[in-house]
């Protein structure tokens, strides 16, 4: 455990040394605007004869805000999706429509046939049960 404590102390001292030397170095660095001005003065003093340029001023950005991104577009509703699909696939739409109409007509026809046959089936079942009563049981007059 003694070596781990020594290693932690060493890392802490190295970290402190790096932090203090970077802080001291940052204080000694000149401002970017000053460096650009000095460079421009040196070029115009020792460089070739250039025509006189107007004073160059670079304003600082100051405080600014970035506007939030626009909200996403609304999701398409079911009716819009259906209209787009119908527009892209007219043949499939006609097929689906005709299938639905055919199934509806078939279901209606089946119900109508069932209702029409129901009284006939009821009478035939009554006749069969009556015939069975006469055959199986004694006549009740």
Residues 47-98: tens digit of each pLDDT? 666 666 677 777 776 777 788 889 998 887 878 888 888 899 999 999 999 9
pLDDT at 92: 92
Give the whole-angstrom CA distance, residue 77 versus residue 74. Answer: 9
Upper half-sphere CA count for residue 103 (Cβ side, 13 Å) = 6
For 81, what's the count of Cα atoms within 13 Å in the CB-facing half-sphere? 5
Residue 22's pLDDT is what?
A: 77
Q: pLDDT (tens digit, 9 = 90+) per residue, 11-55?
A: 899 999 988 887 777 776 667 678 888 888 887 777 666 666 677
Q: Residue 91: what pLDDT?
A: 93
Nearest to 55 by CA among 74, 77, 36: 36
- Determine how many CB atoms are found less than 10 A away from the CB of residue 75: 8
C-alpha span between 125 and 129 (Å, rounded): 6
d(CA 73, CA 34) in angstroms, rounded, equals: 48
């Amino acid at each position: 455990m003694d070596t781990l404590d020594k290693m932690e102390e060493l890392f802490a001292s190295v970290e402190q040394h790096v932090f203090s030397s970077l802080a001291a170095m940052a204080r000694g660095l000149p401002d970017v605007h000053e460096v650009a001005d000095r460079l421009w003065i040196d070029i115009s003093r020792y460089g070739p004869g250039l025509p006189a340029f107007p004073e160059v001023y670079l304003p600082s950005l100051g405080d600014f805000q970035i506007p939030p991104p626009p909200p996403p577009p609304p999701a398409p509703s079911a009716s819009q999706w259906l209209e787009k699909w119908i527009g892209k696939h007219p043949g499939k739409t006609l097929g689906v429509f005709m299938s639905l109409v055919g199934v509806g007509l078939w279901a209606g026809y089946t119900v109508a046939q069932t209702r029409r046959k129901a009284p006939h089936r009821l009478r035939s079942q009554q006749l069969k049960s009556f015939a069975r009563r006469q055959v199986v049981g004694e006549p009740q007059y």
